[in-house]
Amino acid sequence: MSSNSSRSGDLYVIAAASGTGKTSLIAHLLERCPHLALSVSDTTRAARRGEVDGQHYRFIDVETFRRGIAGQRYLEHAEVFGNYYGTSRDQVEQHWAEGRDVLLEIDVQGAEQVRRAHPDVCMIFILPPSMAALGERLHGRGLDEPEVIARRLDEARREIGACGDFDWLVVNDDFERTVDELVAIVNTWPLRRERQFWRVEQLLDEATNPITIKD
């Protein structure tokens, strides 16, 4: 077996319908898993109340984003509700170079693009307890007009319909338990067979090619 010392870190995707609570869950997950780095997406939409450029998103103009697409600088990108969103390849690779695993907070469209580029990505989908609970959360945030909420609920139904393509499904019906489940997934994923092979190369070589002991 060949050496694999230059192998990149693991890649995790978390997707969920708007209003499911993924942003708060991810914040707590990152506190519990300091080896995990969140890749901050680029977007052309305007910042919402309380959002900080470079922390929640990198807010850029449409022309800059389109140049990034043309230059293949995005690991994935999508247009959602008239705005562009994308994950910078350079940012992901920089985190890997620093020895950290990378978490992407993206939608199902972007998740499918990432899986095509990185088949060994860990894909996690967070579900609401019910559509009624999701509607209540969206109304309770007070961020959107009723017509926008209705559109987000329609989009949520489409996204939830794609959850079968993900490796893990987590229902956010109890916040603390959901965080525990996400931490368990992140801690378990590196132990899968495909990932462990490169860590135990020497042992496997010794097992399949026994060392001859001379008298």
| Count of beta carbons in the 10 Å neighbourhood of residue 114 | 21
Distance CA 170, CA 179 (A): 10
Express each pLDDT in 170-205 by its tens digit.
999 999 999 999 999 999 998 887 777 766 776 777
Q: What is the pLDDT of residue 2?
A: 32
Return the higher-pLDDT residue of 170 and 142.
170
Range with lowest mean pLDDT among 88-92, 142-146, 183-187, 206-210? 142-146
Please name the fold of domain 11-39+100-208.
Rossmann fold (3.40.50)
Position 7 pLDDT exceeds 90: no
Q: What is the pLDDT of residue 19?
A: 81
Distance in Å from the first CA to the final CA of the chain: 28
Q: What is the pLDDT of residue 6?
A: 43
Express each pLDDT in 88-135 by its tens digit.
999 999 999 999 999 999 989 899 999 999 999 999 999 998 888 888
**Two structure tokens written together for 123:** 């894909």
Range with lowest mean pLDDT among 2-11, 133-142, 186-195? 2-11
Side-chain-side CA neighbours of 115 within 13 Å: the count stands at 16
Return the higher-pLDDT residue of 3 and 82.
82
Position 4 pLDDT exceeds 50: no
List Cα–Cα distances, 42 to 92, 104, 150, in angstroms: 13, 12, 25
Q: What is the pLDDT of residue 203?
A: 75
Query: Which of helix, strand or coil describes residue 56?
Result: coil
Distance CA 152, CA 158 (A): 10
Range with lowest mean pLDDT among 21-25, 108-112, 139-143, 151-155? 139-143
Express each pLDDT in 59-86 by its tens digit.
999 999 999 999 999 999 988 888 999 9
Residue 120, C-beta contacts closer than 8 angstroms, at least 6 positions apart = 10, 11, 194, 195
The β-bridge partners of 59 are 43
Express each pLDDT in 147-164 by its tens digit.
777 887 888 888 899 999
Query: Which of helix, strand or coil describes residue 6?
Result: coil
What is the domain partition of the chain in residue ranges?
11-39+100-208
Q: What is the pLDDT of residue 142?
A: 62
Tell me how far the alpha carbon of residue 49 is from its chain's centroid.
23
pTM of the model: 0.81
Main-chain dihedrals φ then ψ at residue 43, nearest 5 degrees: -150, 150
Distance CA 166, CA 164 (A): 5
